[in-house]
Amino acid sequence: MSQSPLLTPPVSVIIGASSGIGAALARRLARDGHRLALLSRNTEALQALAAEIAPTDHDAVHVYPHDVTDYDAIPGLFQRILADMERIDVVVYAAGVLNPSPKDTYDFAKDRPILEVNLLGAVAWLGQAAAYFQAQGEGHIVGISSIAGDRGRVKNPTYQASKAGMTSYLESLRNRLTSRGVHVLTVKPGFVDTPMLQSAGGKTFWVISPEQAANDIAKAIRKGKQVIYTPARWRWVMLTIQHIPSFIFRKLKI
């Protein structure tokens, strides 16, 4: 957001707000004075988060139970949120799933939901945001991608493909919308202490809290950043990984 004072509180829509980075970002943006529209399949968690953030001001946080794979419902729900909130300034897509599969197995039943939630849901929601912000001549689109999308690695190919698609989609939106006054931010977290990370298993390092990721995202929105890694040191690690020749990268089996 702009550093200049706003006449009315900005409105942020967070899709996937019931836990992890989405919930932490909701808390952070609420502290920054944003009104919030929070979406998730987990109605109970959303209501608890809303009560925590704004126990007395019921106009500050609105809750919308929603499954992001219900694509047909998205245009109407976007318009309902707009009518309820009277404006939208930021749309964050933080919904994501990871269904780990054992190495050397291929299970479309597990792969399909990853693509439907992580990529198709993002396209459905952020397309609505893009059209609205383009017409307004301003606005912020934020997509939570991942370092997993920077290179095709051995583990969880479909998850990595979903995040690579997310990164490419956000770049395309940025190239379309920057000249229209719309800011598009791609967020690439490393390992974040969320339920998704716990379910994934395997070795991790540089694990950060959702709150640290949320602080980095809020700062990047204010500064109009295009792409951020959180924590920032992942930028240099992934730059190195991206430039390893394929015949060497295959031998590393990472």
Sign of the dihedral defined by the CA atoms of residues 130, 134, 140, 146, in that order: positive
Q: How is the chain split into domains, by residue range?
A: 11-252
Task: Give the model confidence (pLDDT) of 52-93 as tens digits.
Answer: 999 888 899 999 999 999 999 999 999 999 999 999 999 999
The fold of the 11-252 domain, in CATH, is: Rossmann fold (3.40.50)
- Strand extents, DSSP E, 32-191: 35-40, 61-65, 90-93, 139-144, 182-189
CB 165, CB 121: distance < 8 Å: no
Task: Give the model confidence (pLDDT) of 36-60 as tens digits.
Answer: 999 999 999 999 999 999 988 889 9
In percent, how much of the chain has pLDDT > 90? 82
Question: If pLDDT is split at 50, 70 and 90, which confidence band does 202 have?
Answer: low
Rounded CA separation 212/210 (Å)? 5
Question: If pLDDT is split at 50, 70 and 90, which confidence band does 18 have?
Answer: very high
Give exposure, 189-212, as e/b (b: 16+ Cβ within 10 Å).
Answer: bbbbbbebbeebeeeeeeebebbb
pLDDT at 196 over 80: no
Task: Give the model confidence (pLDDT) of 213-234 as tens digits.
Answer: 999 999 999 999 999 999 999 9
Q: What angle do CA 31, 97, 158 make, to 5 degrees?
A: 135
Sign of the dihedral defined by the CA atoms of residues 142, 126, 197, 29, in that order: positive
Rounded CA separation 138/160 (Å)? 31
Sequence letter at residue 160:
Q
Torsion of CA 214, 215, 218, 221, to 10 degrees: -100
Rounded CA separation 5/3 (Å)? 7
Q: What is the mean pLDDT of the chain?
A: 93
Rounded CA separation 79/74 (Å)? 9
How distant, in Å, are the alpha carbons of 8, 43, 62, 74, 84 from that of 55?
Answer: 21, 17, 12, 28, 19
